[in-house]
Structure 1
Amino acid sequence: MDEILFKNLSLLNQVILECTSITNEREIVKRFVDTAIKILKADYGYAFFRDEKTKEFKLLYKDVNTPFEPKIPRKKGATQKTFSSRTPLFIMSAPKTGWLRNDAKKNMGGVVVIPISYNNNNYGIFDICYFKEHKFNRTEKIICSYLGNSAAQAIAINRLYNSQKKFNKRLEREVEERTREIKEDKVKDEALLSSIGEGIIAVDTDGRIFMANPQAEEILKVRKEDLLGRSVFDTIPLLDERGKNIDKKDRPIYVTLTRHKRIKTSNFQILRKDGKRIPVSLTVTPFFLEGKLIGVIQIFHDIIKEKEIDRAKSELISLASHQLRTPLSAINWYTEALIKNELGKVNPKQRKYLQEISNANQKMIELVYDFLNVSRIELGTFVVQPSDFNAIEVAKGTLKELQPLIRRKRIKVTEEYDKTGKIRADKKIIRLILQNLLSNAVKYTQPKGQVSLKLGLKKAANRPKLIIEVADNGYGIPEEQHSKVFTKLFRGDNIVRLHTEGTGLGLYIVKSFVDITRGKISFKSKPGKGTTFYIEMPVQLPRP
Structure 2
Amino acid sequence: MNSARTLSELKELRQVKEVADKLLNELDAEKRKLEEAKAKQEAILASIGDGVVVTDEEERVVFINTSAERILGLKKKQVMGKLWTDAQVVEDEQGEQVPRNKRLMHRVLKSRAVKSSSRKETHYYARGDGTRFPVYVTASPILLGKKVIGAVEVFRDITEEKAIDKAKSEFVSIASHELYTPLSSLRWHTEMLLDGSVGQMSEDQTKIVKTVENSALRMIDLVGALLNVSRIELGTFAVNPEPTDLSAVAKDAVADLFVQAKEQGVAVETECDENLPLVNVDPKLMRIVFDNLLSNAVKYTPSRGRVRMTLKKGEGEYAKSAVLSVKDTGYGIPINEQQKIFTKLFRASNAVKNVVNGTGLGLYTVKAIVERFGG
Q: Tell me the TM-score normalised to structure 2 length.
A: 0.82
Superposed displacement of residue 491, structure 1: 2.1
Alignment partner, residue 19 of structure 2? none
Partners of 1:483 and 1:429 lie apart in 2 by 24
Superposed displacement of residue 490, structure 1: 2.2
Partners of 1:190 and 1:442 lie apart in 2 by 54
**Identity percentage of aligned residues:** 39
Long gaps (5+) in structure 1: 1-177, 521-544
Alignment partner, residue 244 of structure 1? 96
Q: Are residues 1:404 and 2:255 paired?
A: no
> Which AA in structure 1 matches 2:324?
I
Partners of 2:220 and 2:358 lie apart in 1 by 13
1:185 paired residue among 1, 12, 37: 37
Asked if the contact 1:391–1:420 (Cα under 8 Å) also holds between the matched residues in 2, the reply is: no
Partners of 2:51 and 2:152 lie apart in 1 by 10
Map Cα deviations across residues 387-412 of structure 1 (whole Å, 9 max, x no partner).
68875554344334333331232112
Asked if the contact 1:392–1:420 (Cα under 8 Å) also holds between the matched residues in 2, the reply is: no
Pick closer, same or farther for the CA change 1:419–1:294 going to 2, 3 Å: closer
* Matched residue count: 341
Q: Are residues 1:205 and 2:57 paired?
A: yes
Superposed displacement of residue 186, structure 1: 3.0
* SS at structure 1 position matched to 2:80: coil
Q: Are residues 1:272 and 2:124 paired?
A: no
* SS at structure 1 position matched to 2:133: strand
* SS at structure 1 position matched to 2:308: strand
Alignment partner, residue 220 of structure 2? 365
Alignment partner, residue 15 of structure 2? none
Superposed displacement of residue 187, structure 1: 2.7
2:81 paired residue among 219, 229, 241: 229
Map Cα deviations across residues 475-523 of structure 1 (whole Å, 9 max, x no partner).
22333333322222222233233223212111111111112222x3xxx
Alignment partner, residue 36 of structure 1? none
* SS at structure 1 position matched to 2:134: strand
Superposed displacement of residue 272, structure 1: 2.4
* SS at structure 2 position matched to 1:453: strand
Partners of 1:344 and 1:208 lie apart in 2 by 78
Partners of 1:429 and 1:401 lie apart in 2 by 16
Superposed displacement of residue 455, structure 1: 4.2
* SS at structure 2 position matched to 1:352: helix
2:138 paired residue among 280, 283, 291: 283
> Which AA in structure 2 matches 1:327?
P
Asked if the contact 1:489–1:503 (Cα under 8 Å) also holds between the matched residues in 2, the reply is: yes
Partners of 1:427 and 1:396 lie apart in 2 by 13
Residues 295-374 of structure 1: pairs in structure 2 closer than 5 A: 295-374=150-229
Map Cα deviations across residues 54-90 of structure 1 (whole Å, 9 max, x no partner).
xxxxxxxxxxxxxxxxxxxxxxxxxxxxxxxxxxxxx
Asked if the contact 2:50–2:154 (Cα under 8 Å) also holds between the matched residues in 1, the reply is: yes
Alignment partner, residue 194 of structure 1? 46
Asked if the contact 2:277–2:313 (Cα under 8 Å) also holds between the matched residues in 1, the reply is: no
Partners of 2:41 and 2:334 lie apart in 1 by 38
Residues 136-215 of structure 1: pairs in structure 2 closer than 5 A: 182-215=34-67
Map Cα deviations across residues 203-235 of structure 1 (whole Å, 9 max, x no partner).
111111111111111111111122222211111
Pick closer, same or farther for the CA change 1:441–1:305 going to 2, 3 Å: same
Asked if the contact 2:277–2:322 (Cα under 8 Å) also holds between the matched residues in 1, the reply is: no
Partners of 2:191 and 2:217 lie apart in 1 by 11
Superposed displacement of residue 182, structure 1: 4.8
* SS at structure 2 position matched to 1:282: strand
Long gaps (5+) in structure 2: 1-29
Asked if the contact 1:420–1:456 (Cα under 8 Å) also holds between the matched residues in 2, the reply is: no
Pick closer, same or farther for the CA change 1:386–1:289 going to 2, 3 Å: closer
Asked if the contact 2:313–2:319 (Cα under 8 Å) also holds between the matched residues in 1, the reply is: no
Partners of 2:247 and 2:290 lie apart in 1 by 11
Asked if the contact 1:420–1:455 (Cα under 8 Å) also holds between the matched residues in 2, the reply is: no
Map Cα deviations across residues 36-71 of structure 1 (whole Å, 9 max, x no partner).
xxxxxxxxxxxxxxxxxxxxxxxxxxxxxxxxxxxx
Partners of 1:202 and 1:473 lie apart in 2 by 45
* SS at structure 2 position matched to 1:500: coil
Pick closer, same or farther for the CA change 1:324–1:460 going to 2, 3 Å: farther
Alignment partner, residue 17 of structure 2? none
Alignment partner, residue 450 of structure 1? 306
Asked if the contact 1:201–1:299 (Cα under 8 Å) also holds between the matched residues in 2, the reply is: yes
* SS at structure 2 position matched to 1:402: helix
> Which AA in structure 2 matches 1:440?
N
Greater relative CO (CA pairs within 8 A, separation 6+): 2
Partners of 1:498 and 1:432 lie apart in 2 by 24
Q: Are residues 1:219 and 2:83 paired?
A: no
Pick closer, same or farther for the CA change 1:180–1:447 going to 2, 3 Å: farther
Partners of 1:281 and 1:231 lie apart in 2 by 20
> Which AA in structure 1 matches 2:327?
A
Partners of 1:390 and 1:296 lie apart in 2 by 42
- Answer 1 or 2: which has greater strand percent: 1
Asked if the contact 2:190–2:213 (Cα under 8 Å) also holds between the matched residues in 1, the reply is: yes
Asked if the contact 2:52–2:68 (Cα under 8 Å) also holds between the matched residues in 1, the reply is: yes
Superposed displacement of residue 462, structure 1: 11
Q: Are residues 1:472 and 2:324 paired?
A: no
Q: Are residues 1:499 and 2:351 paired?
A: no
Q: Are residues 1:483 and 2:335 paired?
A: no
> Which AA in structure 2 matches 1:242?
Q
Superposed displacement of residue 294, structure 1: 2.7
* SS at structure 1 position matched to 2:110: helix
Pick closer, same or farther for the CA change 1:462–1:475 going to 2, 3 Å: closer
- Answer 1 or 2: which has greater helix percent: 2
Partners of 2:317 and 2:48 lie apart in 1 by 49
Asked if the contact 2:55–2:84 (Cα under 8 Å) also holds between the matched residues in 1, the reply is: yes
Pick closer, same or farther for the CA change 1:446–1:233 going to 2, 3 Å: same
Partners of 1:223 and 1:400 lie apart in 2 by 60
Comparing 205-214 and 388-397, the one that deviates more: 388-397
Superposed displacement of residue 281, structure 1: 1.1
Alignment partner, residue 435 of structure 1? 291
Asked if the contact 1:256–1:296 (Cα under 8 Å) also holds between the matched residues in 2, the reply is: yes
Pick closer, same or farther for the CA change 1:182–1:463 going to 2, 3 Å: closer
Alignment partner, residue 107 of structure 1? none
Partners of 2:140 and 2:314 lie apart in 1 by 37
